[in-house]
Amino acid sequence: MSLALARLLQLASPALPVGAYTYSQGLEWAVEAGRVCDEATALEWVGGLLANTVGCFEAPLTASLQRAWMAADLGEVERLNAEFLASRESSELRAETLQMGYSLRRLLHDLGSTSLPPTSAALQEITFPAGWALAAAVWAIDPEQTLIAYLWSWCENQVMAALKAVPLGQTAGQRLLLGLGACLPAIARAAVVLPEECWSNLAPGFALASSRHETQYARLFRS
């Protein structure tokens, strides 16, 4: 358990070289449009996405991907990877998940992991959830703990984007993480067992924010 925890902390660390810090997932446009302008509205935006899209689609899909990797079921990995890629509503979101997925798989290879399973032609474009689930499977991390770390990493990146774009102070950022972090165990617990027919990522406002960010004049972030 101690080694798995160390590996989990490494996977969730901001130092993981996948470029997450360069993306805001539409949050920068929400700031530009005045939808997010202070700590309260940042919490509303990030917390809403966590509860209504990431927690009930991306998280259960990542858990299913980890189980598929652990079972060496490449057909299921391919299906779920394609499903997540199809769910990316804008070119920026699609490019983001493919770049981060590629970087994570390349990192695992460069770290000399001997447990990497073979991949097929259909997995040449690997999404970030698929890459994360692969790392968790290779490092034998508990799926529920994997999800808590995955969700934490997503929340932390969103909060860091808000600190730069709104901008917010460091203490406000820690308050946001404290509030968001309190929700993660329950979200992860539910996501691990959520049947696929109940998955949902319906968030039209998020899709519009991401699309409009593509033509935003002044940008700090790539999405």
Q: What angle do CA 93, 135, 193 make, to 5 degrees?
A: 80
- Side chain identity, residue 214: E
- pLDDT score recorded for residue 2: 85
Neighbouring C-beta atoms of residue 112, cutoff 10 Å: 7
pLDDT tens by residue, 72-105 = 999 999 999 999 999 999 999 999 999 999 999 9
CA distance 153 to 155: 6
Is the model's pLDDT at 120 over the cut of 80?
no
Single out the residue of 143, 106, 154, 147 nearest to residue 126, CA to CA.
106
How many CA atoms lie within 13 Å of 87's alpha carbon, on the beta-carbon side? 21
Is the model's pLDDT at 56 over the cut of 70?
yes
For residue 211, count CB atoms less than 10 angstroms from its CB and return exposed for 0-12, middle for 13-18, buried for 19 or more: middle
At the top level of CATH, the class of 2-11+22-213 is: mainly alpha
CA distance 38 to 123: 41
- Per-domain residue ranges for the chain? 2-11+22-213
- pLDDT score recorded for residue 111: 87
Is the model's pLDDT at 114 over the cut of 70?
no
Q: How far apart are the first and last CA of the chain?
A: 36
Confidence of residue 17 (pLDDT cuts 50, 70, 90): very high
Q: Could you give the C-alpha distances from 136 to 28, 41, 158, 181, 187, in angstroms and in order?
A: 30, 33, 22, 20, 18
Is the model's pLDDT at 44 over the cut of 70?
yes
The total number of residues shown for the chain amounts to 223
pLDDT tens by residue, 164-214 = 999 999 999 999 999 999 999 999 999 999 999 999 999 999 999 999 999
- pLDDT score recorded for residue 109: 86
Is the model's pLDDT at 112 over the cut of 90?
no
Is the model's pLDDT at 121 over the cut of 70?
no
Predicted TM-score (pTM) of this structure: 0.95
- pLDDT score recorded for residue 115: 65
